[in-house]
Amino acid sequence: MLQPRKVKYRKQQKGRIKGVAYRGNTLAFGKYGLQALEAGRITARQIEAGRVAIVRKAKRGAKIWIRIFPDKPITKKPAETRMGKGKGNVEYWVAIVKPGKIIYEVDGVAEEVMIEALKRAGHKMPVRCRVVSMEEGGI
Enumerate residue ranges in the chain where pLDDT < 50: none
For residue 37, CA distances in Å to 16, 45, 128 come to: 17, 20, 5
Q: What is the pLDDT of residue 139?
A: 58
The CATH number that applies at residue 84 is 3.90.1170.10
Q: What is the pLDDT of residue 60?
A: 86
Q: What is the pLDDT of residue 137?
A: 59
Q: What is the pLDDT of residue 7?
A: 95
Which backbone phi and psi does 42 adopt, to 5 degrees?
-110, 125
Does residue 83 lie in a domain region?
yes
Q: What is the pLDDT of residue 61?
A: 85
Strand 129-133: give its sheet, edge to edge: 63-66, 102-107, 32-36, 129-133
* pTM as predicted: 0.93
Q: What is the pLDDT of residue 52?
A: 96
Residue 125 structural domain: 32-133
